[in-house]
Chains A and B, each alone.
Chain A
Amino acid sequence: MKIRDTLENYVFVLPAVVIFSIFYIIPFIWVFQLGLFEWDGISFTKVFVGLANYKEIFFLDHSWWQSIWNAGYITLIALTFQNILAFMLAWACDREIRLKNFYRVIFFIPPVLSEVVVGMVWRFIINDVEGANMINRMLAGAGFPNLMHHWLSDPKTVLTTVAIVHCWKGFGWGFLIFLAGLQTIPHQIYESARVDGANAWQSLKKITFPLMIPVMVLVGILTVLGSMQAFALILGLVGGEFAGHTSVPVLRILAAMRSSSPRFGYACAQGISFGMILVVISFIQYRFSRKGQ
């Protein structure tokens, strides 16, 4: 009877295990395996090169590290600017304000739009030559004509511009998760605090922040994963890597697979290396948050 129960349990989990293996474990092992070969992605012959691709990535490919740095910069802006904005808006919408449901819908529109569409639309808004040049017109109209700038074609401003558009696109996710988290905090706690004489700032600092730490960690990890892997928005905004200034890891991986002489094995090794970097960052974030709690 016990054996039958055990078998029955295995049968129940089998479909999930099979699906997980087919779509996650096997592709991962395959990609890792391909990273050990020199292969153009088409021919039947693959040349085993061991860890040579990894050695090249870590010690010789400066453009790879430049791309990690650029993605890190976008992520840093997203972690701070985007998440602070998302938290503040969620906090505002959690209170009894007029039209709060309307705001909730509006704030969630950017995340549901395609990254390429957002890229093209913002390109039209920002660009001087091709588009409406709205930002520069607004700056001029507000009395700051000296701030008018070629935001996308200046290497000094292009990455920050990309990061800000990325934040605009992504803050709705954070907003939604923060809002859900805020709604789980019992209102009695706030009422007790108010009875004890706590003002809004004290309630936020002593009640909301501590209770929201797990949610903030979740949003933080999702932001890191989403921002580090951004690329479609960049393609929509500037068409590619712009002399390395908007180069990000996914675009480097695509570059290795492009042209008539692609390096598929190298691209797989880049993918694995990038995955490991993301795992390490997420793990560190998680450990810090545990310490904080």
Chain B
Amino acid sequence: MNNGPLLFLGLFVTMACSWLSFVMGPQLQMGDMRPTTNIVVGASGQIYPHPEPGTAHQGAEVYRANGCAACHTQQVRPRDLGSDIDRGWGVRRSTAYDYLYDQPVMLGSQRVGPDLANVGKRMDTISILLHLYEPRTITTNSIMPPFPFLFEKRKIQGVPSADALRLPAPFTPTPGYEIVPRPAALSLAAYVASLHQDGYLFEAPPPLRAPGGTNTPASAPAPAAAPTNSPAK
């Protein structure tokens, strides 16, 4: 191997193998994916996924800017790989369809915090806001850092603001003051509340059998994650 151009040619070919199989191939298969009507359970003719409202899009920018994906994944693995479904993080595995409207797609690679693929089904906007301001109001011993810079501590002038957080005992602000979410917090909460992956798709049908070989149908793992058959709200 003493020929420079030949070495470059070899490198080009090996590199091209990798590029063709991990960039070109997937792009040919998934590049022009469109929302599908091929829903297994639920009314026929419905389309999945739906674009989310504008505030949720703004919230995704806050999610990206603060690197939330460093600790939170947004992908439910199939039942034979890990306990994601049994933990109630989703009723079916995540598929490529679930991310069609995401920009950027932030699947994450670390589970320092729980998976958020379906967090919108588990938490409402108010508890999400409380959790962002001080995670320990919702989960005692939470190791998530608080995000006080998304909120404003201000003096109550006249009538207290309707948006002000209703904080439980040890976290209440000094009397005469209130904690009001800034626009970034509101849109982030709207984004987190919008996170859900539903609609049983052809490639991710509802679980028929519980793992372990029993023939009993799988019961819903957690009440909060009860399967919704219709993708439309």
Do these two chains interact?
no
